[in-house]
């Protein structure tokens, strides 16, 4: 439909409203530049930090350690184990959080009953959940999965509740007055209205849950990326430890910036016309 609109000679649009406005290129250029700058600033801070104590390895040494971890297949094995736990806990958090969020968004009673609990959840640092689950479940798969679930959940609840409240009632009445089919109303009113907050729910949950996962594996696991960084910590090998810290951060930035942020931009594109 969009194509037929654009091809139509009847519409000689004076203002480009869709697709690539000239500003987009500038945006892309500056964001690459900003990315390079932030990498550079990490390196600068690193070098400044090396001036104290003399125990911090250089970036080159750290990257070399990353190479040996790669060669020994440690990276793949531990990431595979961790991502498995991460996805399991995160999906649970999304499903349960969506149900609770919809309830809070729709019902005053559910809001009164659950909002304090949600606040506690938002305020509790992931390390609390990691320690608690380690004492609770010991060194099994439940410890990281439950920690991921608990540290992701409140963010899902809060943002989904916000999404539900964002459903525009007057547009729904408009659709009903024109007898628009239910499915069309769902896909063209509800879905775009809640998309922004729903994706925000996933983004915040991913960040928080990933932190939870690392801590849970640090304290309560014998495999996974969190455990592997602890392994180097216990061995008093700072280059190994820092190599894994770099990996965690890179992983999170990649997932967020390459996967989730573009989806969010797409879903909320209409706001920036």
Partner 1 sequence: MANIEIKQLEKTYTDAKGRQTRVLDSIDLTVSGDTFVSIVGPSGSGKTTLLNIVSGIESATSGSVSLREGGRDAKVGYVFQDPRLLPWRTVMQNLSFVQDDRSDWEVRARHYLELVGLGHLGDRFPAQLSGGQQQRIGIARAFSVEPDILLMDEPFSHLDAMTSRSLREHLEQIWLQSRKTVLFVTHDITEAVQLSDRIIVLAPGGRIHETIEVDLPRPRRASDPRVAVLQAEVLARFEALEAAA
- Taking the alpha carbons of 235, 236, 240, 242 in that order, is the dihedral positive or negative? positive
Closer Cβ to partner 1, 1 or 60, answer by number: 1
Contacting partner 1 within 153-212 (CB under 8 A): 170-171, 173-181, 184, 188-189, 192
Minimum Å distance from CB 114 to partner 1? 22
Closer Cβ to partner 1, 150 or 199, answer by number: 199
Contacting partner 1 within 251-270 (CB under 8 A): 270
Minimum Å distance from CB 259 to partner 1? 22
Number of Cβ within a 10 Å radius of residue 196: 17
Closer Cβ to partner 1, 11 or 123, answer by number: 11
Are 133 and 147 within 8 A, CB to CB? Answer: yes
Minimum Å distance from CB 201 to partner 1? 19
Interface with partner 1: number of residues (CB under 8 A): 29
Q: 90 CB contacts (<8 Å, ≥6 apart)?
A: 148, 149, 152, 205, 206, 209
Contacting partner 1 within 77-136 (CB under 8 A): none
Minimum Å distance from CB 180 to partner 1? 6
* Nearest CA among 171, 197, 178 for reference residue 264: 197
| Position 5 contacts partner 1 (CB under 8 A) | yes
Residue 261 token pair: 């942020």
CA distances (Å), origin 60, targets 30, 34, 85, 127, 242: 27, 23, 31, 31, 11
| Position 49 contacts partner 1 (CB under 8 A) | no
Instruction: Decide: residue 5, CB within 10 A, 0-12 exposed, 13-18 middle, 19+ buried.
Output: exposed
**3, 13, 73, 236: which one binds partner 1 (CB under 8 A):** 13
Which residues contribute to the site for partner 1 (CB under 8 A)?
A: 1, 4-6, 10-13, 15, 17-18, 170-171, 173-181, 184, 188-189, 192, 270-271, 273
């Amino acid at each position: 439909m969009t194509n037929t609109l654009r091809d139509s000679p009847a519409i000689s649009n004076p203002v480009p409203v869709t697709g690539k406005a000239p500003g987009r290129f500038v945006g892309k250029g500056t964001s690459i530049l900003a990315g390079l700058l932030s990498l550079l600033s990490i390196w600068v801070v690193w070098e400044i930090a090396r001036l104290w104590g003399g125990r911090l390895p250089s970036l080159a040494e750290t990257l070399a350690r990353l190479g040996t971890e790669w060669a020994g297949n440690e990276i793949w094995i531990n990431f595979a184990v961790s991502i498995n736990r991460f996805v399991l806990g995160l999906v649970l958090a999304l499903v349960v959080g969506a149900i609770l969020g919809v309830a809070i968004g729709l019902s005053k009673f559910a809001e009164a009953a659950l909002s304090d609990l949600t606040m506690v959840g938002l305020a509790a640092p992931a390390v609390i959940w990691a320690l608690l689950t380690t004492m609770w479940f010991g060194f099994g798969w439940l410890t990281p999965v439950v920690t991921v679930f608990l540290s992701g959940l409140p963010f899902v609840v809060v943002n989904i509740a916000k999404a539900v409240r964002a459903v525009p009632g007057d547009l729904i009445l408009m659709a009903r007055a024109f007898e628009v089919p239910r499915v069309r109303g769902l896909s063209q009113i509800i879905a775009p209205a809640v998309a922004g907050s729903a994706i925000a729910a996933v983004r915040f949950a991913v960040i928080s849950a990933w932190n939870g996962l690392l801590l849970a594996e640090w304290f309560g696991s014998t495999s996974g990326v969190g455990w592997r960084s602890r392994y180097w910590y216990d061995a008093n090998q700072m280059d190994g430890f820092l190599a894994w810290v770099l990996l965690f951060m890179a992983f999170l930035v990649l997932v967020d910036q390459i996967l989730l942020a573009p989806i969010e931009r797409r879903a909320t594109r209409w706001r920036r016309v």
